[in-house]
Structure 1
Amino acid sequence: MSVKSAERVLRIFELLTSHVNGLSIKEISETLELPQSSTSALVHTLYRENYLSVNQAKKFALGPKLIPIGNAARESLDLASLSTESLQRLALAVEETVFMALLANQELVYVAKIDSNRSIRTSAYLGGRKPLYCTGLGKAFLTFMPEEQRIDYLKHVSLKRITPHTITDKDTLLARLQEYAQLGYATDDEENEEGLYCVAAPIFDASKGMQAAISVAGPKERMLRQKSQIVNNVIDTANGISQKLGYVL
């Protein structure tokens, strides 16, 4: 059984999340199609309890009491476990190995790996680290991280050749990252391990910051035969996980 007043409070919070400069009571009631009198009562109650605040324009915005609640919710989300079911569905759909990685000290760290019945042996393992510039997951981070962070990384990194296909020229790598930004995903074409092809996509949180990346990896010939399907599945899965973290597409 739903409680009407509780539902209205939640809708007010959701509305103000996308209006950082605040809204008047009239604007809130009209947007949510609620009676102005009951909207006023709810808003003033939330204001008295510090769940809403009033800015200089006399408009209501999210208040300071929501900050510790949001922080606690964020800390309670274990990204790898939150994503397990989605990653398993992805592995089942594409029948290749699926990975999730986080960024740590300008390297990627594998935090999840889902094998399929066609998985091949790779050098990647849970807890293992890899460079950013020569892996699909790493290039996803480089593509979608803040520009200043990317510039700092490229300024200090040495692009060492790992396979004959590794990109070792920074201008070439930058051009490739620009392509990935347009596509919405990154690839690794035998740049870290010969014979291996990878498609990777970013995961964002509610603040639109990149939190992780996921990928599908497998033998190049087999991956290219179904690349379109794999790309669609990887992006859809990444978007689904992002939405669980509060990201709005």
Structure 2
Amino acid sequence: MAPEAGSNRSVERAVAVLRAFAVTGSLRVTEVANLAGLRQSTASRLLSTLESAAFVERDADGQYRLGAELITLAGVAVNGHPVHHAARQPAQSLAAATGLGANVAVRRGHEAYYLCNFEGRLAPRAFSLTGRRNPLHATALGKCLLLGVDDRRALLGELERYTPRTITDHDLLDAAIDQVAWQGYSTETEELSLSRSCLAAPLRDRSGHVVGALSLSGPSSAVDLATREHELSRLVVETADAINSHLGHHGPTDPQLTAPPGRLDQRSRS
């Protein structure tokens, strides 16, 4: 069993080296070693092996970055995901039609994991959201993904504050998710980052379970929820319904509330 245990340990260390690059794009050996919790000699040896497999590569300054082979594997993984397969084209069309960013995410534990995003002319980004993670409680996508999660308090724990508008009280979060269940979409105004807003709708599989979420996002001035919420929510919900059909969902969703919950007062969130 010793050789097998040693092999498993080597794989775990190699994974730790690759995950170190989630912090920043380019790293020196010493930085990789510190982030992965390894000796510098071990990190250097693993980086050499990963470089030979094209999982990492070095630039002219001797810094390492993730290699092209990982792009190939990531492309295969994301293209094989049923939610991505069903949502990619509708999301791209939604971004083009509205000029806002269209995003598709699934839940991974206590975070929203982005499968794809498309930039609109009014919401350019300097980076892709694909593969990134965001907190569930502070995003419109996350509020949709929390539908159907029974013990949200155990899943999320203490709710971290990102801006003065972030919901940090579980009772308020429950009320926000009840509102999503009743109206069929969620909103978020500067709860994760200032000057950005978002609307989202849940994506459901053939059994009606929430398996993802679709959102429109961008600068608050472009999203302009005060005057455009009805227009944009209709587009998001209609696009989500089209995606749901591709996922096999054609029937009723979760039981709806008998009356609309009161709108959350943003001041009560501080």
Place the TM-score, normalised by the shorter chain, in its bin.
0.5 to 0.7
Aligned to 1:220: 220
Contact 2:122–2:222 (Cα < 8 Å) also in 1: no
Q: Distance in 2 between matches of 1:77 and 1:199?
A: 23
State yes or no: 1:196 paired with 2:196.
Answer: yes
State yes or no: 1:173 paired with 2:177.
Answer: no
**What is the TM-score with the length of structure 1 in the denominator?**
0.64
Contact 1:165–1:190 (Cα < 8 Å) also in 2: yes
Q: Secondary structure at the match of 1:168?
A: coil
Aligned to 1:85: 89
- Counterpart of 1:145 (choices 145, 148, 151) is 148
Aligned to 1:247: 249
Contact 1:136–1:199 (Cα < 8 Å) also in 2: yes
Contact 2:86–2:247 (Cα < 8 Å) also in 1: no
Counterpart amino acid of 1:163? Answer: T
Q: Secondary structure at the match of 2:250?
A: coil
Q: Which of structures 1 and 2 has the bigger CA Rg?
A: 1
Superposed displacement of residue 119, structure 1: 1.4
Q: Distance in 2 between matches of 1:235 and 1:122?
A: 27
Q: Distance in 1 between matches of 2:124 and 2:166?
A: 21
Which consecutive residues of structure 2, in runs of 5 or more, have no partner in the other structure?
A: 1-79, 252-270
Q: Secondary structure at the match of 2:178?
A: helix
- Counterpart of 2:119 (choices 103, 115, 118) is 115
Which consecutive residues of structure 1, in runs of 5 or more, have no partner in the other structure?
A: 1-75
Compared CA separation, residues 192 and 124, structure 1 to 2 (3 A): farther
Q: Distance in 2 between matches of 1:125 and 1:185?
A: 21
Compared CA separation, residues 190 and 92, structure 1 to 2 (3 A): same
**What is the TM-score with the length of structure 2 in the denominator?**
0.59
Q: Distance in 2 between matches of 1:189 and 1:77?
A: 29
Aligned to 2:21: none
Superposed displacement of residue 173, structure 1: 1.3
Compared CA separation, residues 187 and 128, structure 1 to 2 (3 A): same
Compared CA separation, residues 160 and 97, structure 1 to 2 (3 A): same
Contact 1:197–1:219 (Cα < 8 Å) also in 2: yes
Q: Secondary structure at the match of 1:188?
A: strand
Aligned to 2:206: 206
Over residues 179-208 of structure 1, what are the superposed CA-to-partner deviations in whole Å (9 max), with x where a residue is unaligned? 121111111110001011100100001111
Counterpart amino acid of 1:84? Answer: R
Q: What count of residue pairs does the alignment treat as equivalent?
A: 171
RMSD (CA atoms): 2.1
State yes or no: 1:95 paired with 2:73.
Answer: no
Superposed displacement of residue 118, structure 1: 1.6
Q: Distance in 1 between matches of 2:214 and 2:97?
A: 15
Q: Distance in 2 between matches of 1:122 and 1:189?
A: 21
Q: Which aligned segments of 4 or more residues in structure 1 are displaced greater than 4 angstroms?
A: none
Over residues 126-156 of structure 1, what are the superposed CA-to-partner deviations in whole Å (9 max), with x where a residue is unaligned? 10111100011011111x224x2435325xx
Aligned to 2:51: none
- What does residue range 12-91 of structure 1 map to in structure 2 within 5 Å? 78-91=82-95
